[in-house]
Structure 1
Amino acid sequence: MDYLTAVRTFVRVVETGSFARAADSLQLPRNTVTKLVQALEAHLRIKLLNRTTRRVSATSDGVAYYERMSRLLEEWDEVEDELARARSHPRGRLRVDMGTAVASLLLIPTLAQFHARYPDVQIDIGATDRPVDLVGERVDCVIRAGSVTDPSLIARQLGSLPQMACAAPGYLQAHGVPAHPDDLEEGHQLIRYMFAGSNRQQPIVLARDGESVTVKGRHFVSVNEAGALLAATLSELGIMHGPSFICGRHVDSGALVRVLEDWRAPAIPIYIVYPANRHLSARVRVFVDWMLELFRNSPYTLPPGAAV
């Protein structure tokens, strides 16, 4: 038995005083209306309706049941209407955490358009490269690069981040342009990125035509924040290797020069992550859709499934 449909049918029979009128208003066959009410009575093990050839009326138990269930149905319909309205007009506070570069270079430049589309959503952005405790810090969702292995979290891939190696023209004039990854081991300085919260450096593995090279190299400076990585590169402190969306604009402008263009590193997957047991609100859903749109339209990122 479809319990909800049976309850709605019983309520309509009481309100119309007739199985036939209830069937017409519900656009159901009369015998279906009769069977639904009978099934509901069998489920409850009480008689809800008195039936005669001329009229239908509720029993005393039926009246009590009708009063309670009609109020519940009204509340049910109100909740569904509110959710439908929230879907088209989301509102409220959205707490989201992401890396500093994603915040400053991808999201924030588009927030004016997001606000124009969803004026009642307030976004609180935590911009940090450190790991975040979603539950403990009351964050709705986080955007993070790399694999997500925590089974208590749901991770939806937004896309991936192609990588490139680049340096300032002044640095290359002083140290030369590397032709092979092995050249980075001697005569060059790397600017290394360290994962926040640890001393572990992000590995650099470059491949071309079946040949793969793991670059170690020497570094004068290492950083644990993407903005600092870019600043050090622009300051001619060495060669950086990192996501194209961080340095691509500066390569396009000529402030940086791409090197080792024939060598590729795997694109870095990036996800939006939220607790598995948390209801995904309308404001989170529209934010996810917005981020997917960013990855589709940015020349420096790839949508899910796209080849490098």
Structure 2
Amino acid sequence: MRVLVTGSSGFVGSRLLKVLANKKNVKVFAAAHRESIDCPVTVRILKNFELSSSVDWTPNLIGMDVIVHAAARVHVMNDQALDPLEAFREVNVNGALKLAEQAASAGVRRFVFISSIKVNGESTTTNDTYSPEAEPAPLDPYGVSKMEAELGLKAIAERTGMEVVIIRPVLVYGPGVKANFLKMMQWLDKGVPLPFGAIRNSRSLVALDNLVDLIALCTEHPAAANQTFLVSDGEDLSTSELLRRMARALDKPARLIPVPVWILRLGARLLGKSDLSQRLCGSLRVDISKTREILGWKPVVSVDSALKEAATHFKESRKQ
């Protein structure tokens, strides 16, 4: 089986390359925008990959069996684009659909699309969960672009017969994680007192190894064809509990002050950080029963072991 991975230098794509390269009877190709990427020597690199509606990648797609499309314009804070939605659409919708059209024409059998839970929405109650069949309700340009790409890919699948598999991850963490997750590790490592000791929300997360294991399974499992899957660690945590367990992984004390949530939300609103307060204080839970039942999949690493690996990488990176 010949598998092409886009976004191969990214957080998810780079780990996926290593997993696929260890599989028997799998030849792995990495679509890379940069001249060099860190990947196993057995992986063949296709250079100068650009995700755009104007690029013809057909010659590179002939002979491929599966494409894992992890490349995207990612969700960023304080987006400076004049029209963020159009900027996301050019890459995440137009570029993805052009690649899928070319893949179908080249005879690619399956297209695995890494989408986002933001297609479902931004939050649930502590008792509700998102499911793959729930009505999409994206609230930001990134989520809208992923939803539009999903719809376009399903139409291509119906018209061409190429199988499409859609995976919507929740927040992904692991070695080398960036953004808010990294900031939390930095705060804990420095022993900074944090006002998050009274948060009783419930959020689904997914360890990098769990996500990559599911992606690898979806490249070959017959029952994955034309399905949409949600993925998580199968254990939902409050922000307070996550910080405590992350601190334990770092071998640091968790200095959490039990500030009432309404005060945190009010302060965030006054500072123009309502989105951040929603991620810290709000709930977002997903139901992965479909993923388990159809694919026979289960998380391969526990939350604590994944946090320990992330913490170890974090501590080693500080020494460099």
More strand by share: 1
TM surpasses 0.5: no
From the CA coordinates, give the structure whose radius of gyration is larger.
Answer: 1
TM-score, scaled to structure 2: 0.27
TM-score, scaled to structure 1: 0.28
